[in-house]
Amino acid sequence: MEADFWHRRWKKNEIGFHEGQANALLVKHLDALKLTKGCRLFLPLCGKTRDIAWLLEQGFQVVGAELSEIAVQDLFKDLAITPNISTQGKLQQYSAENICIYVGDIFDLSSAVLGHVDAVYDRAALVALPATMREQYTQHVMQLTEHA
């Protein structure tokens, strides 16, 4: 993963991939997972997606991982939430009620730090990675989430 590429994109606000509302396919199909309110969903490489606000409104807990601190700061600003910020190894943790976002390289995130998750929602993280990293990413996410 070319971290500098993504840091530049966020710094220059070149985020055409960012949707201004919850993803229509998420809204349409989430019920198929039969999740109950309070379930914990993991969003890898989450950016500042509006999907997070929608999931919180549905009563879910959200945990995410994001390389760009700018994206995470924007996310909490958009949510009008002041996060608690702490350090977890190489990662920064931004958290508040029902939301926790880890800032840094997703490969530095461990299952012990992440904790239990009930489902994974990856809208576009897999395709954002170079093809040569996709298998490594997939294996890492499966290990992190105990195949959620």
Global pTM reads: 0.88
- Taking the C-alpha atoms of 85, 89, 9 and 143 in order, what is their torsion angle to the nearest 10 degrees? -110
List average pLDDT for each run of 10 residues in the chain, which is 148 residues long.
64 63 92 96 92 97 95 95 96 98 96 96 83 92 93
Cα first-last separation, the chain: 24
User: If we measure between CA atoms, which residue out of 64, 77, 30 comes closest to residue 141?
Assistant: 64
Tens digit of each residue's pLDDT (9 = 90 or more) over 115-143: 999 999 998 788 878 888 899 999 999 99
Tens digit of each residue's pLDDT (9 = 90 or more) over 61-70: 999 999 999 9
Are 65 and 106 spatial neighbours (Cβ–Cβ below 8 Å)?
A: yes
